[in-house]
Chains A and B, each alone.
Chain A
Amino acid sequence: MLKVIKNRMEQGCKTSKYPKEPIQLYKRFRGMPRINASCSQSVIQQCADICPQDCIDTKNKTIDLGRCTFCGQCEVQSKGEFVLFSENFELGAASREHLITGGSLPALAEHSKQHFKKLFGRSLQLRQVSAAGCNSCEADTNVLNTPFFDLSRFGIDFVASPRHADGIHVTGPISRNMTQALLDTYEAVPSPKVVIASGCCSISGGPFYGSDEVVGDLNKLIPVDLYIPGCPPHPLTTLHALLQFFK
């Protein structure tokens, strides 16, 4: 018992004050890209050529955050001339097109569906479905339950049964072998329900795009309401997206 108390005192309270107070992530973190539209076409072309996800559009000078893994290769290649990754982790989007960005995203809160805010603003229960996620997405979703993020204080919880859920949160490129189980889980959630695609895998197939063993895009199966880009999304990215979209 004494040890429990001693450890309790040593640990103290570690819960973050976000969103009331901003959090500064360490500078090496790659968040929202800043794009220099006046960059020379040849440099943009070089970036597009080395981009492993083929997500740079040279004509419109945009990056598709639904495909990007935030590997940082384009930043290095262009020596920051075309892209610079900021520490801004607020990346959620309400439509697939918004993710194709020239350097900014529309305010998520304004694009969320108002009836969702009314229905789920005070209490949101989600069923997480990993459909061939590599376990980074899953782990950094799970981490929202640890004391630092403490998701429950916002009335948001991950639940075991789809019957108790208001929606599903999907990670992974949706392997052929998980498609049926994913659809069954979706079916089991009572309507009205929310669908969240988390990580570039569920948005576009991520690193596995083109494989004939994956579906690669959740929208092909069920309509997605909220997109959370990243590989994996930072827990704060997920937290921000959930709060903006539902609160």
Chain B
Amino acid sequence: MDNLLKIKNGAVVDRNAIPNVSNSVFFSSLAEFVKNDGYIVQFFGYIENGINRLIAVVRNRDLYVIETEVGSSFQSLTGSTSEKFHLFEREIAEQFGIIPEGHPWLKMVRYHKNYTGAPDAFGNDYAKEHIPGNYHYFQVEGESIHEVGVGPVHAGIIEPGHFRFQCAGEEVLHLEIQLGYQHRGIEKMMPSVPQKRWPIICESIAGDTSVGHNLCFSQAVEALASLKVDDKSSIVRSIALELERIANHIGDLGALSGDVAFNPPAAYFGRIRGEFLNLLQVLGGNRFGKGLVRPGGVTHVMEEEQIKIVRAKLHELIPEIEHVCDLLFSATTVLARFENTGIVAHEMAKDLGLVGYAGRACGISYDARVAFPTEYYAHLPANENNTTDGDVNSRASVRREEIMHSMQIILQLLEMYEQIGATTGAVFMKEHSLKANSFVVTINEGWRGELSHCVLTDNNGKVQRYKIKDPSFHNWTGLAMSLRNQGISDFPLCNKSYNLSYCGFDL
């Protein structure tokens, strides 16, 4: 731990202050940290002055950062230390052609050519077409084994991705998830496009997490440009983040209900979800909160009228939601399908580093709103999860608890907003000059879990590297593990209980 620099969420660090240690110190420090209940927030590569560099941001109760220089390869920690490293190391290989030596299953993350023109880590030639999915999936052999491939285009109105199941009869022995179909090259775009495009891009990293990702982005710019956000704007942001959480959780509870063919809650929640999207539209003119959060504050402050609308809607919906939840969670036919389906054990969840409700359903209580509070969260009570069996039922129950909790804290936030006397002005996107040679990491609890953006600036205050992490990056592996020894017909149910982001992962 001595080699790591303790940092704060959303606070600028001089890049010279980041410990630049030798490879062996870097990897042994990370290994020790992760073994002692430490988790990875960010671990990524970048190239400066022709030198390959790796930066890691890790957390226990606090946040730390450490850095090293590497050649064309480094020593993988995935097999020797923890699964938590596996995707991060593959990402570094794909983006920069830097090879993690000894990685047990080194394969593509998103199928794209690397940023530097170095030889492709996987020997792919992206000038040729048809590369996505062109890969030897892990195969189980045996006479009664069969393979099921699903996607990239799925049956419903959802994003693309490929799932490859190895089955013995109905039982899934192994599920391999290959994404990358949604890759838009966002991290590569960010340093090269004008600043005015940043918020538009960031709120479309994952459209169901527009508020969350734009909060991470805006807080990073605020830190680098020394902008202050007043309390009232901060409250609007917190309310928007909670509305986003509620809308998504409610939509998922409805979809889970539909997946077990219990139609009334599916219909009711489908409609009620829309009520929350409409509240986001009342706040900022867009059902997904796009265009609301900008560096320095929000583009629309709440006036009396909006406060009244939000409050009245919540009072109307709280009992309705309670009743529909009761209908859903007390139906024996539903519980029979939810309970003991898609279990991830607590130890496994810790090994994988699951975050958000996927982690909390397995008894990992981490909630960034509590651990690293931003905006107005330090003034608000935390939620407590009571069902932690790691199955579909737990993931659904955590959502139910979070919906009720979020609605209560929005009511509290509205009151706080009214008590603050000072009026506040709306902001909009402007060019900001960013502090040179600086580093900042921002973390927020999006509805799926820990979101994080990381920005490095160069000597001229230009963005050197923009790194984005959606919680789905941690959690897709959780879905794969949920399917082990599960009936293949339970896949839709398990999948919905996580409802992970394709584009948030693919960037």
Interface residues in chain A, defined as those with a beta carbon under 8 Å from any beta carbon in chain B: 3-4, 6-8, 10-11, 14, 25-26, 28-30, 50-53, 69-73, 76-77, 85, 128-143, 145-148, 158, 160, 172-173, 175-181, 185, 201, 206-208, 210-214, 231-232, 234
Q: How many A-B residue pairs have CB under 8 A?
A: 211
Q: At the interface, yes or no: B337 with Cβ under 8 Å from chain A?
A: no
Q: Residues 182-197 of chain B: 1 if any A CB is under 8 Å from the residue's CB, otherwise 0?
A: 1111101100011011
Min CB distance, A69 to chain B, in Å?
Answer: 6
Query: Which residues of chain A have C-beta atoms less than 8 A from B155's C-beta?
Result: 160
Determine if A173 and B184 form an interchain contact, defined as CB atoms under 8 angstroms apart.
yes
Query: Which residues of chain B have C-beta atoms less than 8 A from A208's C-beta?
Result: 184-186, 189, 201, 204
Determine if A76 and B502 form an interchain contact, defined as CB atoms under 8 angstroms apart.
no
Determine if B184 and A70 form an interchain contact, defined as CB atoms under 8 angstroms apart.
no
Of the candidate stretches B16-24, B76-84, B226-234, B262-270, the one touching chain A is B262-270
Query: Which residues of chain B have C-beta atoms less than 8 A from A232's C-beta?
Result: 207, 287-288
A-B contact pairs, 10 of them (CB 8 A): A7-B268, A50-B429, A70-B291, A138-B159, A140-B288, A160-B156, A173-B184, A177-B182, A208-B189, A211-B189
Determine if B159 and A130 form an interchain contact, defined as CB atoms under 8 angstroms apart.
yes
Q: At the interface, yes or no: B487 with Cβ under 8 Å from chain A?
A: no
Question: A67 to B281, alpha carbons, bound, how many Å?
Answer: 21
Query: Which residues of chain B have C-beta atoms less than 8 A from A131's C-beta?
Result: 160
Query: Which A residue's beta carbon lies closest to that of B132?
Result: A177
Min CB distance, B255 to chain A, in Å?
Answer: 9
Query: Which residues of chain B have C-beta atoms less than 8 A from A210's C-beta?
Result: 189, 193
Question: A138 to B267, alpha carbons, bound, how many Å?
Answer: 18
Of the candidate stretches B49-57, B168-176, B323-331, B345-353, the one touching chain A is B323-331
Min CB distance, A148 to chain B, in Å?
Answer: 5
Determine if B268 and A132 form an interchain contact, defined as CB atoms under 8 angstroms apart.
no
Interface residues in chain B, defined as those with a beta carbon under 8 Å from any beta carbon in chain A: 110-112, 129-132, 152-153, 155-160, 180-186, 188-189, 193-194, 196-197, 199-201, 203-208, 210, 251, 264-265, 267-268, 270-271, 273-274, 277-278, 281-288, 290-291, 299-300, 309, 320, 323-324, 326-327, 330, 426, 428-429, 501-503, 506
Known A14-B271, A178-B160; judge A3-B326 contact (CB<8 A). Answer: yes
Known A7-B324, A72-B291; judge A158-B157 contact (CB<8 A). Answer: yes
Query: Which residues of chain A have C-beta atoms less than 8 A from B324's C-beta?
Result: 7
Determine if A72 and B299 form an interchain contact, defined as CB atoms under 8 angstroms apart.
yes
Query: Which residues of chain A have C-beta atoms less than 8 A from B160's C-beta?
Result: 130-131, 178, 181
Task: Please list the 5 inter-chain residue pairs (A to B) with the smallest Cβ-Cβ separation, ordered nearest first.
Answer: A136-B207, A213-B185, A134-B207, A146-B270, A160-B155
Determine if B180 and A136 form an interchain contact, defined as CB atoms under 8 angstroms apart.
no
Query: Which residues of chain A have C-beta atoms less than 8 A from B131's C-beta?
Result: 177
Query: Which residues of chain A have C-beta atoms less than 8 A from B273's C-beta?
Result: 143, 146
Q: Besides the contacts A7-B327, A143-B274, A160-B156, what 18 more A-B pairs have beta carbons closer than 8 Å?
A: A52-B197, A53-B200, A71-B199, A73-B428, A73-B429, A130-B159, A130-B160, A135-B206, A138-B159, A160-B155, A175-B182, A177-B180, A181-B181, A206-B204, A207-B200, A212-B185, A213-B188, A232-B288
Known A50-B196, A135-B207; judge A146-B267 contact (CB<8 A). Answer: yes
Question: A133 to B324, alpha carbons, bound, how many Å?
Answer: 31
